[in-house]
Chain A
Amino acid sequence: MNEVVVPFRAGTENPCSAGTALYGEILEFLYREAALLDDGRYSEWLGLFAEDIQYVMPVRTTQFRTRGAGFQDISFFDENINSLTTRVQRLQTNAAWAETPPSRTRHFVTNVLAQPAAQASEYAVTTNFMITRTRSDQDYQLFTGQREDTLRRLARGEYRIARRRILVDQTVITGTNLSILF
């Protein structure tokens, strides 16, 4: 289960393949999203999500290749718009000690591949992410993996994230907690 969709199919026309205007819009949207997170502009970040957002980070396990990628039904995150909103409100209380004082994060988003999704005006976008979290006087913590997003295009350059699956590489999260956003 949970096989990763590889968007590229040789010989087919992809309206959002690398180099197209659509691809450029998507790329810029993702970069702007990452900048909002790294700048701590969480309310604006929250505005990028559709009301029906499903934001999930499944727990991963080590499995033999024949048994799949190891993602499980239990998750680290299983969020809707209300719970994402609560997370953002919490970060803004000044009493959310895991992020008060705040960590410094750097979201690196690469390997962007996009293709039209099943719904009109929606795009299935896979990216690799690498996030560094630097906290207090400590060395940085590293989070890596892949995101599978469904982006809904509202207007030229304007998107909403309708679905996000965060597929971490780690089976054991070595970074203290998941108080940052992905």
Chain B
Amino acid sequence: MSSGSRVKSKRSGNGSRHLAATRLSNGEYLEAIVRPAEGLISRRIFADPEVYNMELERIFGKAWFFIGHESEIPKPGDIVARQCGVDPVIFVRDASGTVRAFLNSCRHRGMRICRTDRDNATTLRCPYHGWSYSTSGELLAASSEHHYGEGELDKSRLGLIPVARLGSYRGLVFGSWDAGAPTLETWLGDMRWYMDIIFGRTGEIEFVGVPQVWEVECAWKFATDNFTDNFHVYWAHQSLVELGMLPSDPDFASHGTMVTLGNGHILHFVHGPPMDAFQGMGLPKSLWPRFKEKLNTGQAHIAQTHGYSAGTMWPNFHWLQLVTAGDTRSEPVGILNLRLEIPLSPTRTRMYSWFAIDKDAPAEYREASYKTYVRTFGPGGIFDQDDMENWEECTAAARGPAAKRYTLHHRMGLRRARDASWPGPGISYVDSYGEMTQRAWYAEWLRRMQSSSSARLDRAGRAKAAP
């Protein structure tokens, strides 16, 4: 497990593990109302300002977050405005080619420096008083420098504020505001084995163009929860079942494996219908031989035999690997979609959706994959748009004091069998209809939300008085 949180634990004489409990202002303990092991998650944690404010510090101020992909800033001086957690950052490739991320805020008065979505520049100049920084963050010039007295301006200490930890895996750049966070490699752990399948199966993956960005009046966790949920597909996307774009068998997305890993990372791989189009991640056959060149035997087998996959790099960054047609007359084609949810308030979330593709994919496939993506995913996508309706309505119904007394239900597969034949790391479960992955996600959420306090819990989550 990572060392990035302040959970205090100790082993008592009888071996039970005691965790610090988190008390809300109404007297309830988070550990008592969020019980991932039992699949009972309180509705209170979704639209509640108190819980949200705790999340900002304990999760968004500390965990690792996806910022962008290296292919989005290919040239020195390329700049993209992004977030790390909920803080705005400048995602930049500096003059020497190094990828960096800085708080998008001047060291002088805090003014936002990068005020366009993307740019290419040699210096970053604040429009307020003209403080200028290099693309590697050094303060080159403050304003009216000769008016500062001795010792009043130490430019060497006033560079842009860097994201405390920055790391990259397979071109995906993540940052953390916690200088004590584990390395990216440690934090991702075995998730890297699966990321290799998605982002390294044929060579490199590139993010194409800009993300679609939009806002939904929902609590961010309802969206996050949805990306590991297979059995909503038949119901939430019922219109596409009716149009023949999804199979009419309600169990069609259950033929797969779900995996939980350390640090809350979760994923699944699901078999599509037994047709070539749904093998090999939906990629053209000409690329299938790459799997064995680029991946190990187990990874290559998974890539070869599956069409659908989703994974969550905890907490809010997801891949979606799908095979679908874009309309009722077209052939199914593979699409790779990357998703990020950034909360703006307890009940409002900004969504990012990127289209990505294997760099060596043939032009014809690239075009078909792109058009299919736009038609099915993102805010205008005929799949995606119905999900947002669900997230908003779940949020609206979670606001009231009565609703907050009740839990949601995440108990499917509490005793699910392990998938003994699965070649990959982690805990793997047979049958991809289940809430094993969500429970693992909420367990990490709870662990992150726990802070040192006077109360302690026993293993079953019951709060005990401080000694």
Contact call B327/A82, Cβ cutoff below 8 A: yes
Q: Which of B238, B370, B382 makes the CB contact (< 8 A) with A87?
A: B382
Q: Dominant SS at the A interface?
A: mixed
Flag whether A142 is at the interface (Cβ < 8 A).
no
What's the least CB distance linking A70 to chain B, in Å? 7
Q: How far is the CB of B218 from chain A (nearest CB, A)?
A: 9
Asked if A111 CB lies within 8 Å of chain B CBs, one says no
Query: B239 at interface (Cβ–Cβ under 8 A)?
Result: yes
A72, A76, A97 — most chain B CB neighbours (10 Å) = A97
Nearest B residue to A170, CB-CB: B214
Contact A176 B217 (CB under 8 A): yes
B116 in contact with A63 (CB, 8 Å): yes
The answer to whether A178 has its CB under 8 Å from any CB of chain B is yes
Is A93 in contact with B243, judged by CB distance below 8 angstroms?
A: yes
Quick check: A177 and B239 within 8 Å, CB to CB? no
A129 to chain B, nearest CB (A): 16
Determine whether the beta carbon of A177 is less than 8 Å from that of B350: no
Question: Do B380 and A178 touch (CB < 8 A)?
Answer: yes
- Stretch from B132-140, B204-212, B449-457, B459-467 at the A interface: B204-212
Interface string of A85-121 (1 = CB under 8 A from B): 1110110010111100000000000000000000000
Partner of A178, one of B328, B379, B389: B379
How far apart are the CA atoms of A78 and B371 in the complex, in Å?
7
Q: Which residues of A contact B239 (CB under 8 A)?
A: 90, 93, 95-97
Residues in A with CB closer than 8 Å to B116 are 61-64, 67
Residues 325-368 of chain B, each 1 if its beta carbon lies under 8 Å from chain A, else 0? 01111100000000000000000001000010000000000000
**With A74-B212, A95-B239 known to touch, is A176 a contact of B380 (CB < 8 Å)?**
no
Q: A76 with B385: in contact, given A85-B327, A176-B214, A176-B392 (CB under 8 Å)?
A: no
* Chain B residues near A83 (CB-CB < 8 A): 326-327, 371, 375
Is there contact, CB below 8 Å, between A74 and B209?
A: yes
> Cβ of A18 < 8 Å from any Cβ of B?
no
Checking B236, B374, B388, B392 against A76 with a beta-carbon cut-off of 8 angstroms, the contacting residue is B374
A57, A89, A173, A177: the one within 8 Å of B213 (CB): A173
* Chain B hits for A61, CB < 8 A: 116-118, 210
Let me know if B384 is at the binding interface, CB within 8 A: yes
Scoring B208, B236, B389 by chain A CB atoms within 10 A of each residue's CB, the highest score goes to B389
Q: How far is the CB of A148 from chain B (nearest CB, A)?
A: 18
Question: A62-84 CB contact bits vs B (8 Å, 1 = yes)?
Answer: 11100100101111111100110
Q: How large is the interface on B (under 10, 10 to 19, 20 to 34, 35 or more residues)?
A: 35 or more
**A43 CB-CB contact with B under 8 Å:** no
The answer to whether B236 and A77 touch across the interface, beta carbons within 8 angstroms, is no
Check A86 against B243 for contact (C-beta < 8 Å).
yes
Point out the residues of chain B lying under 8 angstroms from A62, CB to CB: 115-117
Asked if A98 and B388 sit within 8 Å, CB to CB, the answer is yes
Residues in A whose Cβ lies below 8 Å from that of B375? 78-79, 83, 86
B385 with A179: CB separation less than 8 A: yes
Question: A59, B212: Cβ atoms under 8 Å?
Answer: yes
Inter-chain CA distance A87–B376, complex, in Å, is 10
Is residue A172 within 8 Å, beta carbon to beta carbon, of the partner chain? yes
Taking the complex as formed, is B87 at the interface, i.e. its CB lies under 8 A from any CB of chain A?
no
Residues from chain A with a CB closer than 8 A to the CB of B216 are 176-177
Q: Could you tell me if A64 and B119 are in contact, using CB atoms closer than 8 angstroms?
A: yes
Q: Is the CB of B390 within 8 A of A97?
A: yes
Q: Say if the beta carbon of A12 comes within 8 Å of chain B.
A: no
For window 161-182 of A, CB contacts with B under 8 Å fall at 171-179
Does chain A have a CB within 8 A of B215?
yes
The answer on a CB contact under 8 Å between A76 and B329 is: no
* Centre residue among A67, A72, A87, A95 by max chain B CB count within 10 A: A95
Report whether B386 and A76 are in contact in the complex, using a CB–CB cutoff of 8 Å.
Answer: no
Check B379–A173 contact: CB distance below 8 A: yes
Which are the 7 A-B pairs with shortest beta-carbon distances? A178-B380, A95-B238, A173-B214, A74-B209, A61-B117, A86-B327, A177-B385
Beyond the given pairs A74-B211, A95-B238, 8 more chain A to chain B contacts, judged by CB atoms under 8 angstroms and listed by A's residue number, are A63-B118, A86-B375, A89-B243, A98-B389, A172-B350, A177-B216, A177-B385, A178-B214
Q: Could you pull out 24 A-B pairs where Cβ atoms are within 8 angstroms?
A: A59-B212, A62-B117, A72-B209, A74-B209, A74-B211, A78-B374, A78-B375, A79-B375, A82-B329, A83-B375, A86-B329, A87-B382, A93-B238, A93-B239, A97-B239, A98-B388, A98-B389, A173-B214, A173-B379, A177-B379, A177-B385, A177-B389, A178-B214, A178-B380
